């Protein structure tokens, strides 16, 4: 072998040794970084210290997470397998309980991902991934038990609840929409811009007499009216087609001479008048009978307004500007709605919904212009007039307005 060849081989070997030494130093620094990150999370993160203190005081625990300790543990047992990831050679995965804590803290406060990341000593991108994963798991694991599609018997039970609590017969739910304010999505134009001057998606909900969400539809563009959201929703299309499996028509109590009447939903003036959807009479100067009808309808419709109030008080993200992508915001809204039902049932206030499939597979609603919400059929006008006459005669209550 020549001197030149030997010298070349020696130089290549030296370069290889230098490269291996650099690789070992990098691997060593990576192990130190992983170790230090894990140590910071376990030594200073809220989950490993504050949470252990909160478990000693149920009141503080519930104010922090919006769930009691029993509810937190029950929820964790339901979704733990869905949100647990596998450990790797480089790091141990974040435990399911810590993932649930991070997600609930975001829903309960609406704080930015950066703020929560600093509190729990994790990365901002980690918080983003955890929130999207956990809210999806919450919806998928709870919707079957706590927001099942109502059956005919369920609708009949809801109607009995409205008759007993709110003195509105044959009512199977209160319908309304709520704007969930977002940071303006990039390149979205005016699709999410609503009449209030903010950017939002719309939560359309049907609420029963006990403030539980029975049907929700999330994802409508903020610029679309409530009537347009209803027309494009799965619920609205089923209502129009008569495929909701509502109970058969029956006479109003004490008014058998008026004939069988349909079961109806109650809504405000933003929705159209239909045979199964009652809205108030328009105008300010109204005859006494119409004012009585508007009073009784508004009294029953308050349950959906109250449910939205409870929801936003419990989950403060509704009172903040949500700085996430609209698809993630939709998942967060659906998770809070099913958690709302979960909490009311687990506290012993109500019995859970019985069966059915939720609307997890629905696509976000497309936007559309305002529909003709005031064009009502003669049958819808006749049904509203029958209810109006009933409320001023055999169905009157002592506290309703008389003049």
> Using one digit for the tens of pLDDT, what is the confidence trace for 368-389?
333 334 446 899 999 999 999 9
Contact present, 387 and 253 (Cβ < 8 Å): no
| Residue pointed to by tokens 């620094």 | 29
pLDDT of residue 369: 34
- Give 264's strand partners: 171
Q: At 144, is the pLDDT very low, low, confident or very high (cuts 50, 70, 90)?
A: very high
Mean pLDDT calculated for residue range 289-306: 94
pLDDT of residue 266: 97
Burial environment of residue 45 by CB neighbours within 10 A (0 to 12, 13 to 18, 19 or more) = buried
Averaged confidence pLDDT in the chain: 85
Cα gap 246→29, rounded to integer Å: 66
- Comparing 82-91, 108-117, 193-202, the range with the smallest average pLDDT is 82-91
Q: Which residue has the higher pLDDT, 3 or 22?
A: 22
Of residues 103, 104, 105, 362, the one with CA closest to residue 218: 362
Q: Which residue has the higher pLDDT, 206 or 87?
A: 206
Q: Which residue has the higher pLDDT, 41 or 8?
A: 8
pLDDT at 66 over 70: yes
- For 332-341, what is each residue's pLDDT tens digit? 999 999 999 9
- Rounded to two decimals, the pTM is 0.81
pLDDT at 32 over 50: no
Query: In the chain, what percentage of residues exceed pLDDT 90?
Result: 60
pLDDT of residue 108: 96
Of residues 265, 313, 300, 278, the one with CA closest to residue 108: 313
- Comparing 4-8, 189-193, 207-211, the range with the smallest average pLDDT is 4-8
Cα gap 181→207, rounded to integer Å: 21
């Amino acid at each position: 072998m020549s001197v030149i060849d030997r010298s070349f081989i020696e130089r290549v070997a030296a370069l290889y040794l230098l490269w291996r030494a650099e690789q070992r130093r990098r691997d060593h620094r990576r192990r130190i970084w992983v170790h230090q990150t894990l140590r910071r999370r376990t030594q200073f993160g809220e989950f490993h210290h504050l949470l252990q203190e909160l478990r000693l005081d149920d009141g503080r625990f519930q104010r922090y997470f919006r769930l009691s300790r029993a509810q937190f543990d029950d929820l964790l047992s339901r979704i733990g397998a869905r949100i647990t990831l596998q450990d790797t050679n480089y790091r141990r995965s974040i435990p399911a309980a810590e993932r649930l804590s991070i997600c609930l803290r975001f829903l309960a406060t609406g704080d930015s991902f950066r703020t929560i990341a600093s509190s729990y000593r994790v990365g901002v991108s980690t918080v983003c991934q955890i929130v999207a994963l956990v809210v999806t798991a919450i919806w998928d694991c709870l919707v079957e038990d706590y927001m099942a599609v109502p059956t005919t018997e369920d609708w009949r039970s809801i109607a009995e609840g409205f008759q007993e609590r709110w003195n509105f017969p044959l009512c199977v739910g209160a319908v309304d929409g709520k704007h969930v304010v977002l940071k303006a999505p990039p390149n979205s134009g005016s699709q999410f811009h609503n009449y209030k001057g903010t950017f939002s998606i719309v939560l359309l909900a049907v609420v029963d007499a006990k403030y539980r969400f029975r049907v929700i539809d999330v994802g409508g563009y903020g610029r679309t009216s409530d009537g347009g959201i209803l027309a494009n929703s799965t619920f609205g299309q089923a209502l129009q087609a008569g495929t909701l499996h509502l109970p058969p028509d029956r006479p109003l109590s004490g008014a058998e001479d008026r004939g069988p009447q349909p079961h109806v939903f109650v809504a405000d003036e933003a929705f159209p008048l239909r045979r199964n959807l009652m809205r108030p009479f328009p105008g300010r100067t109204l005859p006494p009978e119409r004012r009585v009808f508007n009073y009784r309808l508004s009294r029953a419709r308050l349950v959906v307004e109250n449910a939205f109030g409870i929801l936003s008080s419990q989950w403060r993200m509704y009172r903040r500007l949500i700085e996430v992508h609209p698809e993630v915001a939709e998942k967060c809204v659906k998770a809070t709605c099913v958690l709302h039902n979960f909490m009311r049932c687990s506290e012993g206030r109500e019995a859970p919904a019985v069966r059915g499939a939720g609307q997890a597979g629905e696509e976000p609603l497309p936007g559309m212009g305002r529909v003709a919400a005031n064009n009502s059929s003669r049958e819808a006008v006749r049904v509203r007039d029958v209810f109006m006459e009933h409320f001023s005669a055999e169905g009157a209550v002592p506290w309703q307005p008389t003049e």
